[in-house]
Structure 1
Amino acid sequence: MKRRSFVKASLLVPTIPAAAFAGTTSAQKTAREYYELRVYTLKDATQQQMVADYYQHAAIPAYNKTGSKNIGVFTELKPEGQTKLFVVIPYKSIEDFSSAKSKLMNDKTYIDAASAYLHAPATAPAYERIESSLLYAFPRMPEMATTTPDKPRIFELRRYESPTEAAGMKKIEMFNEGGEMDIFKKTGLDAVFYGQSLIGGNQPNLTYMLQFDDMADHDKSWGTFGSSPEWNKLKSIPDYADAKLISKITAIFLTPTSFSQI
């Protein structure tokens, strides 16, 4: 190739700054998971039992066969009235997410076990409504953390809503490149997953889940985080101010069902 042609062609290739690779870790090279967060609104204990039976005996075994492991099913720690059921389903790829339903519907064992749930009559439905969100794992935590289902725990599901898409992306940057996730870990805030909401209500937002031994552990860990010099230094950066990046925080406390894999 003549030098003039080479120079002309090289101008068409975008330049990637070396700094883009400086912070690359083995975690960032791992394919990021997707998480479906389902929230079931239920009117009574009968519906709650039907949905719980569906996940325990039909959905979880079937999803596990398709490659989705560590499925979490939770009830509210202190519900106001009838509890909702919260379900977290991990997927290794967007293709796994998009093909999951067809795989289940082609699984005869699943169809038989899920019959009461799938074919509940309109006069006695299995649930009132399902709200579903699709989350994309953060770069610095591309896979869900391993949990210990045989240990008594409570979970905190937190959603941060942002005033704009740009603010939402800045908050995600703060968690990842800014180091907020690292401060969480150092101060005892044990994350199960972090996810950017791609599809669902209350956009734009990010959602993450933490686990604790009990509420005393929860209060202690958050107190340690709040007084951390690293956290106070990070949040003092003008571009990372909560007033700019967060418009609403929702925290829900959950307990795992006896058959939850988280």
Structure 2
Amino acid sequence: MKFKALGTLISAIFLSSLISKVYGGVAKGDFYQVKVYHYKTASQFNSLQHYLKDAYLPALHRNGIKHAGVFNTMHNDTVDRRIYVFIPFKNLNDIELLDAKLSKDAKYKADAKDYLDAPHDTAPYSRLEVILLKAFAGMPQPAVPALSAPKSGRIYELRSYESATEKYHINKVSMFNEGDEIGIFSRLGFNAVFYGSVISGHNMPNLMYMTAFANKDERDKHWNEFIVDAAWKTLSAKPEYKNNVSHIDITFLQAAEYSDF
């Protein structure tokens, strides 16, 4: 298992290095790990919430991660129920170091005992997938949304933009950075949590980003303003950015009350 983890880490480092070279230099910014817990039952949901709230996030905080996010799919999503855990890291090595730290954290092991020792026939989740991202140069660190609305009413929108090839993916990332699509979102008050290029995941080549709104009406209002924004119209009409997105997935999420984001 140790060699497998090391191999995964080396592969991710190689991919990140390759992306940085293509962009023309070492890309500064955080790395993001997104854990996606798929579950089917209310019991699994409750087990995961207990683990994340009372064991995992407190352990992350003790081990130097100031902010981590926990987001649930909307209650009307009965097809694929998921919990997303968003964790920022300063470098790739910190990801492997975290697992080592948790293995020596006595309080974490005690608080997480039900999760860690769950029997095979009452597992707390159906499947777990892990996505690794590199932050965009235009927003190298995540941001806690500047929203006063209670988390129970907020809407978090997670988007994944797939591209036909790596070249088109890099072009779309450039559209966010050099083209300043990030700046348009910022000016219009989209409250971005993060932007990142996926360097290990199952829908590559793709990028992902998350924005936050006080409620569903505010979300719709902001997107309507974005569509007719003059700067966006000019940017999206540029021939150099044509055909750089082949598929878009949109997931609406709610933050857990204990989430840092």
- TM-score, normalization by structure 2: 0.85
Is it true that 1:71 corresponds to 2:96 in the alignment?
no
Residue identity opposite 1:160 in structure 2: Y
Which residue of 96, 99, 102 corresponds with 2:97? 99
Give 1:147 shift: 2.8
1:127-173 CA distances to partner (integer Å, 9 max, x unpaired)?
Answer: 11101100111011011112358732210000000100010000000
SS in 1 for 2:84: strand
Which residue of 18, 39, 42 corresponds with 2:39? 42
SS in 1 for 2:81: coil
Residue identity opposite 1:42 in structure 2: Y
SS in 2 for 1:170: helix
SS in 2 for 1:84: strand
- In terms of Rg, which structure is larger? 1
Residue identity opposite 1:40 in structure 2: Y
Q: Who is 1:239 aligned against? A: 240
The runs of 5 or more residues in structure 2 that have no matched partner are: 1-23
Give 1:108 shift: 0.5
Q: Percent identity?
A: 37
Q: Who is 2:254 aligned against? A: 255
Answer whether contact 1:42 1:48 (CA < 8 A) is retained: yes
What does 1:1-262 align with in structure 2 at a 5 Å threshold?
A: 31-77=28-74, 78-81=76-79, 83-147=81-145, 151-152=149-150, 153-241=154-242, 244-262=243-261
1:23-73 CA distances to partner (integer Å, 9 max, x unpaired)?
Answer: xxxxx99x5111111111112011111111111111101111221122111
SS in 2 for 1:123: helix
Q: CA RMSD in A?
A: 1.9
Greater displacement, 68-77 / 143-152: 143-152
* CA distance in structure 1 between the aligned counterparts of 2:215 and 2:238, rounded to whole angstroms: 32
* CA distance in structure 2 between the aligned counterparts of 1:82 and 1:182, rounded to whole angstroms: 33
Answer whether contact 1:136 1:196 (CA < 8 A) is retained: yes
Residue identity opposite 2:132 in structure 1: L
Answer whether contact 1:190 1:212 (CA < 8 A) is retained: yes
What is the total number of aligned residue pairs between the two structures?
234
1:82-127 CA distances to partner (integer Å, 9 max, x unpaired)?
Answer: 6311111111211111211111111000011111001100111111
Greater displacement, 138-147 / 150-159: 150-159
Moved over 4 A (4+): none
Answer whether contact 1:50 1:126 (CA < 8 A) is retained: yes
* CA distance in structure 2 between the aligned counterparts of 1:167 and 1:90, rounded to whole angstroms: 26
* CA distance in structure 1 between the aligned counterparts of 2:158 and 2:63, rounded to whole angstroms: 26
1:182-241 CA distances to partner (integer Å, 9 max, x unpaired)?
Answer: 111112222110010011111000000000011111111111111011111111111112
* CA distance in structure 1 between the aligned counterparts of 2:47 and 2:73, rounded to whole angstroms: 17
Residue identity opposite 2:233 in structure 1: N
Answer whether contact 1:44 1:82 (CA < 8 A) is retained: no
* CA distance in structure 1 between the aligned counterparts of 2:36 and 2:80, rounded to whole angstroms: 13
* CA distance in structure 1 between the aligned counterparts of 2:102 and 2:84, rounded to whole angstroms: 20
Answer whether contact 1:149 1:261 (CA < 8 A) is retained: no
Answer whether contact 1:197 1:204 (CA < 8 A) is retained: yes
Summarize the Cα distance change of 1:203–1:80 in structure 2 as closer, same or farther, 3 Å threshold.
same
Residue identity opposite 1:96 in structure 2: D
Greater displacement, 219-228 / 73-82: 73-82
SS in 2 for 1:53: helix
